[in-house]
Amino acid sequence: MTGNTLLLLVTAWVIGVDNFSFFGHVLKTYGTAPAMLPALLALALAFGALSVLLVGLVAFGRAIKPVLIVLLLLSALTAYFMDSYGVVINDEMLQNVAQTNPAEARDLLNFRLLAYFLGLGVVPAWLVARARLRWRGWRAEAWARLKLLSLALLAIVGPALLFGGFFASFVREHKPLRSYANPAFPLYSVVKYARGRLASPADQAIEPIGLDARRSAEDPHRELMILVVGETARADHFSLNGYARETNPLLKQEAGVISFTDFHACGTSTAVSVPCMFSAEGSNGKAEGKESLLDVLQRAGVHVLWLDNNSDSKGVALRVPYQDFKSPEVNTVCDVECRDEGMLVPLQDYIDSHPSGDIVIVLHQMGNHGPAYYKRYPAAFERFKPVCRNNDLSQCTPEEIINAYDNALLYTDHFLAKTIELLKRNSERFETALIYVSDHGESLGEGGTWLHGLPRAIAPKAQLHVPAIMWFGGHHHDIDLAALRQRRDQPYTHDNLFHTVLGFLEIETAIYRPELDILHGSRKPDWPQ
């Protein structure tokens, strides 16, 4: 067998068995009318030829078997995640993979993943390794490869010319379809991610922001804010927002809680959203390489603390006090895993140890991190039954998955209510505030999509529409709750968080934008707007 023959066989295998998601989305977009069949076949031919062209440029000589083996293994894994969860493997998803901790990775392991990897990847890779290749010398092999690549190029250009209108529609009007092309799009994403990493070395200088930040001298009262970064919560599953199930029974009893019903995330993954939430650049800028909100607060004299029961702060808290609460050595509330409420245990001591100055504490939840939603809450919170106890969501009914997800929201309700109780105990000494915002939402099977991480341009509302609540306490707080409540249905995004925190803490700096401060315009009459 020649190297070219092996290349064609492997490419045909990958196109044929690892691209059900790609061809499924194409058929869903264009339909299956007989008149469409020639154009669809032309697309399949061009897609296969493109794969031959890309792989054929690097899989040559002694490199052919290693390249094809890696291609088979990666394509099998890509096929599993696209077929099982409806996700795409773009550069943001690769960033998520790079930042995933072992516990999160274990939640994704199941028999279906093993079957995909062995059946679609390992077995054909073993056959490639065993294949005997006939080497005809460098000149003959190079000439044969040049002819193959030329034919592949013709197989791309020819169909594009014959079905120009269809291909123009595919390229211009249905760009998201390309995200499902395996292995072409994942390979492109690997290159894009690698270029981004090389362009942003780990030791690059951090650009300071808010160098003029200072605490306003007009307000003599101290502020205590707890900012909770939620995980994978959907706004439409909060009963505070009208969800039929009672997922917020405790928060509902807090008269001062205000839920913002039209709040949207700046990304669909933790790795993107968390840096964006704390960035002055917002969703239109690049948070990497610049200081965050926490740096500005610390510069203004605020005591800042980040406690994390999730993966990490994604670079936001690198220059402020930070503590990891994912292990029982630190977190005193653990069963099958360490619970979010364990982060509340040391907070009173921390508050008492700072007799002067404002305090901001960030709590990064484990929240509703999937797909093992059933692990995200203690047994006492399993109110909705039956639940999915499998991280292979295809083995569960939609009802079981939603039940487990909603039970995790019940636990978040409990956690936030306990946080408010802590703030109430300190409201004699401070103007107190709770802000809770989820980093992103979650797909629960709508349209065949699960989890999160789709590119923002094609992400469903479920992955972007997130819950956001506020609560204020203390005798001296300046917030007009009635005025703020009237604005609860206005559209807001993660871009508002940076400036809202600055506004509440009365931090004066040129980077503060009052038009993005949710609280601006909701101060009591005697407070300067």
SS3 194: helix
Distance CA(69)–CA(41), nearest Å, equals: 27
Q: Is 117 exposed, middle or buried (0-12, 13-18, 19+ CB in 10 A)?
A: middle
237-253 average pLDDT score: 98
% of residues, the chain, pLDDT over 70: 97
287-333 per-position pLDDT tens digit: 778 999 999 999 999 999 999 999 899 999 999 999 999 999 999 99
Residues 6+ apart with CB under 8 A from 158: none
56-75 per-position pLDDT tens digit: 999 888 899 999 999 999 99
Distance CA(256)–CA(369), nearest Å, equals: 28
pLDDT band at 203 (very low <50, low <70, confident <90, very high): low
Residue 95's pLDDT is what?
85
Domain ranges of the chain: 3-199, 222-368+402-516
Write the CA distances from 29 to 32, 40, 43, 403, 466, integer angstroms: 9, 11, 13, 32, 28
Residue 170 DSSP class: I
User: Which CATH number is 222-368+402-516's, of 3.20.20.100, 1.10.600.10, 3.40.720.10, 1.10.150.80?
Assistant: 3.40.720.10
30-58 per-position pLDDT tens digit: 998 998 999 999 999 999 999 999 999 99
pTM: 0.88
340-354 average pLDDT score: 98
Residue 528's pLDDT is what?
47
| pLDDT above 50 (res 186) | yes
115-159 per-position pLDDT tens digit: 999 999 999 999 999 999 988 888 998 999 999 999 999 999 999
406-420 average pLDDT score: 99
Mean pLDDT across the chain: 93
| pLDDT above 90 (res 275) | yes
| pLDDT above 70 (res 200) | no
pLDDT band at 15 (very low <50, low <70, confident <90, very high): very high
pLDDT band at 285 (very low <50, low <70, confident <90, very high): low
Residue 202's pLDDT is what?
58
Q: What angle do CA 283, 274, 87 make, to 5 degrees?
A: 85
